[in-house]
Amino acid sequence: MENSLASVGGFCCGRSFVIDHQRLSGQGYCFSASLPPLLAAAAIEALNIMEENPGIFLVLKEKCERIHKALQGISGLKVVGESLSPAFHLQLTDSTGSREKDVKLLQEIVNHCMNRSIALTQARYLEKEEKCLPPPSIRVVVTVEQTDGELERAARTIKEAARAVLL
């Protein structure tokens, strides 16, 4: 939920000592004892936009479904995530057996796309601190502001990058 309202924050759940650490280390607390005014104003404006334009959710849902469908069946990559979600991951269909090599291959895909003005990033984790480290992946995010043409170009570029890097 951290980025859902154009702000920072979230929901803590777990043992009390973990929750206390998360709350006290959160960005809002680092700046003051409450959410910084600029971020509070951004969250309020995001809520206003959602109330004034409820149709944006249907538009976003349609864009999410379209990009998920467009990215299915890319040789060497699989889409991980729900088709209704605006944030999802692309993972290698088959690992090389080495996390380091998998990360390098995915970074080559990210770089290929970046060189063609499509911004992607790999999902990042605190590898030494994760109990169950997820497989390397490319994080993809869809927004309501992206045009159909931009999404189609992004899907084509990702497919092209996968062919160039993985085949």
Over the stretch 21-69, which tens digit does the pLDDT of each residue have? 766 666 555 544 566 677 778 888 989 999 999 999 999 999 999 999 9
Tell me whether residue 98 is in a domain: yes
Q: What is the pLDDT of residues 61-92, one digit of tens each?
A: 999 999 999 999 999 999 999 999 999 999 99
Q: How far apart are CA 154 and CA 146, in angstroms?
A: 10
| Domain with 98 in it | 56-166
Closest among 92, 69, 66, 70 to 157, alpha carbons compared? 70
Tell me whether residue 2 is in a domain: no
Do 136 and 84 fall within a single domain?
A: yes
Do 87 and 71 fall within a single domain?
A: yes
pTM for the complete prediction?
0.78
Q: Are 23 and 29 in contact (CB under 8 A)?
A: yes
Do 28 and 88 fall within a single domain?
A: no
CA 32 to chain CA centroid, Å, is: 28
Quote the number of domains for the chain. 2
